[in-house]
Structures are given as C-alpha cells and as structure tokens.
Amino acid sequence: MSDALLGQAQDGKTILPGASLGVMGGGQLGRMFVHAAQAMGYHTVVLDPDAQGPAGQASDAQIVAAYDDAQGLADLTQRVAAITTEFENVPAQAFEALSQNTRVAPPAAAIAIAQDRVAEKQHFQRHGVPVAPFAVVDSADSLQQVAADLFPGILKTSRLGYDGKGQVQVANLQELQQAWESLKQVPCVLEKRMELDFEVSVVLARGLDGSVVNLPVQRNIHHNGILATTLVLPGAIDADVQEQAVHVAKSIAAATHYVGVLCVEFFVLKNGQVIANEMAPRPHNSGHYSIDACDVSQFELQVRTLAGLPLLQPRLHSPAIMLNILGDLWFKDGQATAVAPDWAAALAHPGVHLHLYGKHEARKGRKMGHITITGPNAEAALGNALKVAGLLGLPQDFSHILA
C-alpha cells in the first residue's frame, strides 16, 4: 500500500486523518480508542482473537487472530499506517516484530517492562524512582533469604497479575511459603506493606519529538484490587503530591524513550512521600473521566501520539468523579439471574455520563462500563456522585474527600 493511501506525510512523522490505525486488543480500551480515532477522521483495524469483543464491534475492520499469529500480524501491518495496543499483555515479541515494518507506540521494550513486575521494579530502581521495599521470590533459596523487615507484605506474581489477581497478603515467612506454593511457585515479588494515606495516578502522553503532556492527577479508591472510584476535584490532592507524581511519571517515560499514553500508579504514604506502584503502557481506567471532563481525552492523546500530531496540555473543564461498573451490579441481593441496573434513574441526575462497553454477558468482577459525574464545582459533582452511587448500590466511601 502506498504512503499516500496510508496517509503518511512526506516527513515520515505525521499520519493524517483518512489513514488507518491499528490496535492490538479488542477490549473496552480499544473500543474507546476506536471511537476517538474515528471522530478525528481515521479508519481503524482491530486485531483480537475474540470476534465479539467491544473494540471489534466499533471498528471499521477486525482481524480475528491470536496476538502472535504471524499471518494476522502481517495482515495488520499491510492495512494500517501505525499500531498501538490497548493492554500490556500483548506479547512484547509480537509488538517488536510489528515495529520492524510499521510505526508502533508504545515501544515494545516498555511493554516488556510493564509485563514483568521484577523487571518493572528493577527498572524503577535503576532510574531513581522511589518504590516500596521488595524482594524477588523465584526459588526456595530466595524465599529463605527474605528479610524479616519486609513483613507484613504482599506477594505478587511477576507476570499476568492484575485487578487484585495473583496477589496474597502475608505476615511472616511461613505464610510467604504457603502463598508462594498457592501461586504455583512462579516468579513473584514480595512488597512490604506501607502505611498508605491514599492512591493517585498520572496519565501522560509523550510524543515522537519528546514533548510531554499530562491529565490532571487522579485520586483513586480500590476495592479488592479493582479500581472503584476516581476523583478529579480541586482540593482532593495536595499540590506537592501532584508535583511529585507528575515529575516521577515524566522521568519514567523519558527513561524508556516512551511514545504513547502511559499511566503510572502511585501510593501516597502517611508521611507525604509518593512512591511508584506500577505502570501501564496504555490508557487507564483512572483516565476515563477525561472523555467527559477534559477538552482532550486520554484516547485522543493516544491517537495524537500514534499519528505524530501536536500534543496539547489537557484542560479540566469540569470537576469529575468516575464510578467503575462491574458485573456484580447485575446480581444485586444475591439474585441468580442478571438484571440490568436502573440506568434511567441514574441518568436523571445532572452531569451523569453513562459508558457501557458492549459486553454481551455480565459476570461478577467483570468491567462492564463506567459512569462519570461532572459538575460546575467540586461539591456539586461530589453530591450527585453520592446520589448515583447510592441509587446503584456502588461504594460511597469517597464522601469524606473534600471534608
């Protein structure tokens, strides 16, 4: 396919609207990338093994193939000008192979780091990023050498753990050994449990030219390891915490020569110190509010970084709260049959924006959508968010944030 048909500019950097952009992965993040790309005039091609995935439903075209299928990857490179990913567990080797013939963002090396907690922690340490004390547990000998001051701690699988999966809390060496055996003795990281005050995240975008912009710093609340609520409200996070988090996130992006959208999650300790938890080389649940509350969403930033378009600092035009919607809402009060929540009642409140991901079956723990509540000020957004959360049976443990 010629550069003209692909929309490739003569300088080799800017991919113009009218071109086709590819995305590895067919989940909700891919779906929202597709929506943003199409709104800007691009065509999209999704590669995913699930023919019924949310992104494939919305995309102009879909290639149904495994992420490491050679023919599928070759087909994708022939049909698009550049390729991104919607999740970090796409095989890094496949992404590296794609990069030999097509622009990719983020770089495969950053994906490889994010896929492995050991590599991620060591990468952070090498670049002076503060992290919780940790030890690698990958053998019986390493387990016995764990320092006593790392307890109590959390044992996490090095690979494929997310949303609280692959994590076990341990109080001593005996519990550590039992936990490691329960995790099939795969390589793990033991992290010391810290005295946390709250959690925040930074979503940034870094361009081909090294320019960096970021969304406002988000304050997050998790339940059972899954993000439940994100708050972007004036007064919700001290300025020095925001500055620390943004500075560290930008340094992580620079260290990997990153191009694309990157999220870095942080713990804020009781003493005010900000330490990095993990990074995600893609848009993030905690940045979903930007679709409704910012003039440039994280998904438009993903399109801009991939296409080599100018990056503009996003502006928060409305205070916002994002409520994550899990499949549990379809099974309230122990009912066995799925019953859709009362969306009409929720949408009767001002500033409510409903986003459902097009998943065909509700299951407990499955991310089905989110609701963003915006308002003219922080108090109005918070008040309506509490009403919607109470109506749907979602956690209301964010009522104290502005108190």
Mean pLDDT of 185-204: 95
- Contact by Cβ (8 Å): 364, 328: yes
Q: Where are the domains of the chain?
A: 3-104, 133-192, 196-392
Give the Cα separation of 174 and 184 in Å (integer): 16
Q: What is the pLDDT of residues 280-309, one digit of tens each?
A: 999 999 999 999 999 999 999 999 999 999
Q: What is the mean pLDDT of the chain?
A: 93
pLDDT of amino acid 70: 95
pLDDT exceeds cutoff 60 at 11:
no
- Compute CA distances 195 → 238, 266, 273, whole Å: 18, 13, 10
Handedness of CA 29, 30, 31, 35 (dihedral sign): positive
Second CATH level (architecture) for the domain 133-192: 2-Layer Sandwich (3.30)
Q: Spell out where 131-195 has E strands.
A: 134-137, 153-157, 167-170, 188-192
The answer regarding whether domain 196-392 maps to CATH 3.40.50.150 reads no
Mean pLDDT of 253-274: 95
pLDDT of amino acid 163: 57
The radius of gyration of the chain from alpha carbons, rounded to an integer in Å, stands at 21
Mean pLDDT of 104-130: 94
Q: What is the pLDDT of residues 137-154, one digit of tens each?
A: 999 999 989 999 999 999
- How much of the chain is helix, strand and coil, in % rounded to 5? 35, 25, 40
Give binding residues as ranges.
117, 156, 161-167, 199, 222, 277-278
Tokens of 147: 């320092």
The yes-or-no answer to whether 3-104 and 196-392 have a common fold is no
Give the Cα separation of 337 and 154 in Å (integer): 35
CA nearest 97: which of 68, 117, 122, 121? 68
Tokens of 105: 């963002």
Tokens of 202: 């930074």
Q: Spell out where 81-211 has E strands.
A: 82-85, 103-104, 134-137, 153-157, 167-170, 188-192, 196-206
Give binding residues for ATP as ranges.
117, 156, 161-167, 199, 222, 277-278
- Compute CA distances 257 → 82, 106, 250, 311, whole Å: 18, 9, 11, 16
pLDDT of amino acid 161: 63
Q: What is the pLDDT of residues 207-248, one digit of tens each?
A: 999 999 999 999 999 998 899 999 999 999 999 999 999 999
Tokens of 208: 């081909």
Report the C-alpha dihedral over residues 248, 250, 253, 258, rounded to 10 degrees: 180
> Which fold is adopted by the domain 3-104?
Rossmann fold (3.40.50)
